[in-house]
Amino acid sequence: MALKTGVQYEESLRKLNLKVYLLGELVSNPVDHPMIRPSMNSVKMTYSLAEDPQHEDLMTATSHLTGQKVNRFCHLHQSTEDLIKKVKMQRLLGQKTGSCFQRCVGMDAINAVDSTTFEMDEKLGTEYHKRFLAFLNMMQEQDLTVDGAMTDPKGDRGLAPSKQADPDMYVHVVEKKPDGIVVRGAKAHQTGAINSHWILVMPTISMQKDDADYAVCFAAPADAEGIFYIYGRQSCDTRKLEGGEIDVGNKQFGGHEALMVFEDVFIPWENVFMCGEHEFSGMLVERFAGYHRQSYGGCKVGVGDVLIGAAALAADYNGAAKASHIKDKLIEMVHLNETLYACGIACSSEGRRTPSGTYLINLLLANVCKQNVTRLPYEIARLAEDIAGGLMVTMASERDLKHPEVGKVIEKYFQGVASVPTEHRMRILRLIENMTLGTAAVGYRTESMHGAGSPQAQRIMISRQGNLEQKKNLAKELAGIR
């Protein structure tokens, strides 16, 4: 079976024995927990759309390993066309869910690990690439959701991993055995980890010789012995426990992050793809970051489409759609959103083939894409809040709306355009609140800043990739300087 249905995906999660803590309690059934389920629904959409013939071209691809049709999230990019379709797929899913659909990190991880292990084996004579392809074949055959785990807690940012007061601030190898390794540490901000079947762990920074134990890449089942999760809080998240639907803004879909802890987890050698080869850790980090920064030119644009539509509806319901300044703000929102999309398409179009055959994006343009994402969604969100008006954050609750006495008062005084039901106006304002300030803001606003690396991380890469010396030579030639 190379493609799962949405229903089969949901049922496969029920078979996992995940250890998840949320609000101080051990969760017995993560799939149906009201705070977690919307994020599962978002991942489920990546399976459901792959079943739809209308979206087959974007959502699926042909495996270069088996020739079978696979979900694009399990695919290695074999051309610039694949890279472009990836961005278009992510925009589509952002439009359908209005939130983070979580599978991108694993897709970006497998593409980075593939080319890195291939080149590592060529230089060092190791067999990591062969192991990785076996894992990838399983991932494609079972249509697995894989969590790409890169970010470590880091501790004191001024110290190398091996110099930390607590050595567990970065995931590291604590023991090597004839049949595998034992790892300890944690990964923070893990997008969709609780909705994943497997974990693909990578180093978070370029390691030096003294940090060789931290230069480790491996795969593990999400419910492996010794792994547990602490679910991350989101703004307004307990509204999901109230049983209503208006106040949550987007009841059906959402995202999540978690702290993933490794307590002396055993990893068999067959699932180890780097162990001490510190000189290749930087390549893996750089390539994964590039792929993931490309991703933001798709997913954030799709969510932006929903936010722009919600702002336009708010203007309609407020009776302000014809005002020239409202029209201009909506135009600006579209302009900013399409600028992000243009960056995602550009870095994909200028991709190149790596020695393994997998295509890598243009790293400079991918970092420019993500640098724009750290800024433009904030302006899009600001303009949406401007158009929505103050009622977005002072509005009475859904329970008040349904109250037999005060509900009539709310219906009267929260009315906008007379032809639009008050409830419709409240729903769209709550959606905007959710996307700019609430739970969805984690996957749009704040993640735009820190996801795939903070703004400074992109500026460092832009500095490396910008080729100032070539630009100086161009200027010298035209100025006649020899």
List active site positions.
100, 104, 191, 257, 292, 296, 299, 447
Closest to 69 measured CA to CA, from 132, 130, 1, 138: 1
- Are the CB atoms for 290 and 366 separated by under 8 Å? yes
Task: Report which DSSP code applies to 350.
Answer: T
Query: Tokens for 337?
Result: 């959103």
CA distance 257 to 371: 22
Closest to 97 measured CA to CA, from 32, 43, 51, 37: 43
- Those residues whose C-beta lies under 8 Å from the C-beta of residue 74, and which sit 6 or more positions away, are 63, 107, 110, 136, 139, 140, 143, 144
* Element at 70 (helix H, strand E): strand 69-71
Residue 446 assigned to a binding site: no
E-strand spans in 123-222? 146-149, 172-177, 180-187, 198-201, 216-221
> Residue 7, Cα to own-chain centre: how many angstroms?
22
- Are the CB atoms for 295 and 470 separated by under 8 Å? no
Bridge-based pairing state of the strands 227-231 and 258-268: antiparallel
E-strand spans in 269-347? 272-275
CA distance 69 to 249: 36
Residue 22 sits at φ, ψ, to 5 deg, of -145, 125
CA distance 205 to 152: 9
E-strand spans in 254-326? 258-268, 272-275
- Those residues whose C-beta lies under 8 Å from the C-beta of residue 391, and which sit 6 or more positions away, are 414, 429
Query: Tokens for 95?
Result: 């439009």
Cβ atoms within 10 Å, residue 117 = 25
* Beta-bridge partner residues of 64: none
CA distance 407 to 86: 46
Annotated binding site: 191
Annotated binding site for FAD: 191
